[in-house]
Amino acid sequence: MDRMRELIDKLNEASKAYYAQDREIMSNYEYDALYDELVKLEKDTGITMSDSPTVNVGYESVDELPKERHAVPMLSLNKTKDREELRSWLGDMAGLLSWKLDGLTIVLTYENGELSKAVTRGNGEIGEVITANARVFRNIPHKISFTGRMVLRGEAVIKYSDFEKINAGIEDVDAKYKNPRNLCSGSVRQLNNEITAKRNVYFYAFSLVEAQNKDFAYRKEQFEFLKGLGFDVVEYHEVDKTSIRGVIEDFAAKITDYDVPSDGLVLTYDDIAYGRSLGRTAKFPRDSIAFKWQDEIKETVLREIEWSPSRTGLINPVAIFDPVELEGTTVSRASVHNISIVKGLKLGIGDRITVYKANMIIPQIAENLTGSDNLQIPTECPCCGGKTEIRSIAEAESLYCTNAECPAKKLKSFALFVSRDAMNIDGMSEATLEKFIGAGILKSLTDLYHMDRYELKIVEMEGFGQKSYDNLIGSVETSRNTNLARLIYGLGIPGIGVANARMLSRYYDNDMDRIMNATADELASIDGIGDVMASAIVAYMDDETNRSLINALRSELSFTEVAVDNSNESISGKTFVITGSLSHFANRDELKARIENLGGKVAGSVSKNTTALINNDVTSNSSKNKKAKELNVDIISEEEFIRDYLGEETG
């Protein structure tokens, strides 16, 4: 398994460099040798991991996640924060102490050696079926050597390092995710598993529910069995009453640097029969218990509540207090989340409060020692001055700005519109947009093209001058000459990324009117769109405000799309895959553009829908060549493509 994981990482790194970054970090010979070794190991072990380059996972979208009742109800665990109570609970028995991971619990079912179903915990009785999403988790085996029916439970998580990378790529502060658990929950429960695949979700097994015709006496044996099948299992250590305190301290020393979100530990009796003999209460099993960290709590003084408006209109309360040292860092701010919590804590400025770090990471208010309960809830939005209202959603009260024109709501839409893949307006950072929106310069996207009305005001703004203004206006004017795909992407239609925008533009011959009036059925029939995206496009276009905005923007822009020539029937509507080096085109992007301009499509991998694989080394044993041969897809050289499909001479 170690060698398989090493091979998978090496091959995936090489593929990313080759296909996404146009560079080679290993020769075709070396790649193919490693690939063949991986294929042999997968055959020998009967295990195929989800991120193996030998697996092609298709993306799919659904309108909703179906519900399913668990065959065995999933109970919560009884909890303690007392180390001595944990030792007393274990008594003279042997146990396994493991991380209590903070993500989303998933139940996996394997039939005939293949993953057949994945279901979320839900309410413990009924969960949501997320099988397609589970198939794109980073480390779940698609195939295992055990062919009997097998059911196991584990935690889906997004690591802190990946969480920080995802948030770092989001310019809009209000759009950033609050914590890894919330991001993981949303990622696992996506209707489009292509989004799940991009989020780097990992799965760690913590319990074997059933393995057909297999009997185990101890939990440790079950963990070893699962590891042997290719699963990552939660980190665990064997303990008894003499060693448990030391092992707890070892876990505690790791928590601040541990990359996988955790909110405590789980202690389980190693002897399975003994654990089962104890039965269960109405709420908890008696064979396991959870241990929660005893939080470090400090007393301080609440100095201010900062009300922070977001793009959705939600106004988040943030507590500002005298700085205190918690878990080795200085803390002076903590989110209070919503009005219900504000009221529950009976907050008032100057109150003595206690604060701690949830899971030893996230600052929170623990208790209000004063309880003055005199905090004034704003009746006006701090951003726009519009009226606020308290709304009750999911049994929690939150404060919202009611002004549809609130600048905070507009910031994200402006940021997307000016981004590189949309209108590509240089110099228009989110900070600059925020200044312009706050100053009343930008109210609608079309105002970007009339900022010359505010020349004097902009030149006199802090951080600006005549040169900065001239550069910005020059960038705006340059953006007027664009293409329809950039505009479509910049509109921010839910689910429509850069590639989808280009696809729509090509399919409708750069005709925005046709796109605006397309039906859901028509859109869903386009390869790569599907029902979910189609519904989102129709909903967006049916809104009169959006239609007016599109027409207003069209009057400001000049579209210079290269017309798609569908006259070449050899290419129009056909799908090609390009691999290897080229001699007649500068690079693969140039050849790809030529194919797309003739109405064709270029895919990244060979499938049954591929018309031809373009590879100058037609006799190689590369993975793409092998796949093409398996599917009876033509493998042609660059010269053959130019001669037979373009009808040109290579000279």
Per the model's pLDDT, the better-predicted residue between 310 and 585 turns out to be 585
Q: Which residue has the higher pLDDT, 524 or 89?
A: 89
* Count of C-beta atoms within a 10 Å radius of residue 294: 12
CA atoms of 508 and 497, how far apart (whole Å)? 17
In angstroms, the CA 217 to CA 213 distance is: 13
20-40 average pLDDT score: 72
Residue 420: pLDDT band with limits 50, 70, 90: confident
Banded pLDDT at 528 (limits 50, 70, 90): low
- Per the model's pLDDT, the better-predicted residue between 328 and 3 turns out to be 3
3-state secondary structure of 638: helix
421-458 pLDDT, tens digit per residue, is 899 998 888 888 888 887 778 888 999 999 999 998 89
Which strands sit side by side in the sheet containing 95-101, from one edge to the other? 79-80, 288-291, 262-269, 95-101, 236-239
Whether residue 97 contacts residue 251, with contact meaning beta carbons closer than 8 Å, is answered with yes
Q: Exposed, middle or buried, 68 (CB in 10 Å: 0-12/13-18/19+)?
A: middle
Q: Which residues are catalytic?
A: 100
pLDDT at 469: 92
Distance CA 204, CA 99 (A): 10
Q: What pLDDT, on a 0 to 100 scale, did the predictor assign at position 22? A: 44
Residue 53 carries which side chain, given as an amino acid letter? P
- Which of the residue ranges 158-167, 179-188, 368-377, 580-589 would you say has the lowest mean pLDDT? 580-589
Q: Averaged over 339-344, what is the pLDDT?
A: 90
- Higher model confidence: residue 198 or residue 266? 266
Cβ–Cβ < 8 Å for 187, 196: yes
21-25, 260-264, 383-387: least confident range: 21-25
Q: CA-CA distances (angstroms) from residue 626 to 33, 47, 230, 621? A: 13, 21, 26, 6
C-alpha distances (whole Å) from 588 to each of 32, 244, 500, 580, 591 are 21, 59, 20, 9, 5
Tens-digit pLDDT profile for residues 34-57? 888 998 999 899 999 888 888 765
Q: What is the pLDDT of residues 73-118, one digit of tens each?
A: 888 888 888 899 999 999 999 999 999 999 999 999 999 999 999 9
Percent of the chain with pLDDT over 70: 92
Average the pLDDT over 161-170 and give the result. 80
- DSSP letters spanning 369-390: SS----PPPPSB-TTT--BEEE
Residues 253, 257, 263, 264: what is their CA dihedral angle, to the nearest 10 degrees? Answer: -20
- Tell me the pLDDT band of 533, cut-offs 50, 70 and 90: confident
Rounded average pLDDT over 216-227: 97
At 192 the pLDDT is 82
Is beta strand 67-69 parallel, antiparallel or unpaired with respect to 126-128?
Answer: antiparallel
pLDDT of residue 360: 63
**Per-residue confidence band for 405, with pLDDT thresholds at 50, 70 and 90:** confident
pLDDT for the residue numbered 599? 79
Place of tokens 């413990």: 124
Mean pLDDT for all residues in the chain: 86
Tokens representing 20?
Answer: 């996404």
Which is higher by pLDDT, 237 or 194? 237
CA distance linking residue 475 with residue 350, whole number of Å? 49
At residue 109's C-alpha, the angle toward residues 103 and 113, to 5°, is 125
The closest alpha carbon to 479, from 449, 458, 450, 455, belongs to: 449
Mean pLDDT along residues 161-184 = 75
Model confidence band, residue 337 (pLDDT cutoffs 50, 70, 90)? confident
Contacts by 512-518 with C-beta closer than 8 Å and gap 24+? 512/484, 512/487, 512/550, 512/554, 515/488, 515/541, 516/541, 516/547, 516/550, 517/541
> Looking at residue 272, what is its pLDDT?
96
Percent of the chain scoring above 90 in pLDDT: 43
Task: Please indicate whether residue 55 or residue 265 has the higher confidence score (pLDDT).
Answer: 265
* pTM: predicted TM-score of the whole model, two decimal places: 0.53
Rounded mean pLDDT, 161-188: 76
Concatenate the DSSP letters of all residues of 86-145 into one string.
HHHHHTTS-EEEEEEE-SEEEEEEEETTEEEEEEE-TTSSEEEB-HHHHTTSTT-EEE-S
Average pLDDT over residues 51-69: 72
Q: Which pLDDT score is estimated for 21?
A: 52
State the pLDDT at residue 120. 93
Using the predicted structure, report yes or no on whether residue 636 has a pLDDT greater than 70.
yes
DSSP string, 12-51: HHHHIIIIISS--SS-HHHHHHHHHHHHHHHHHH--EETT
pLDDT of residue 24: 61
Given pLDDT bands bounded at 50, 70 and 90, which one contains residue 471? very high
How many whole angstroms separate alpha carbon 337 and alpha carbon 316? Answer: 6
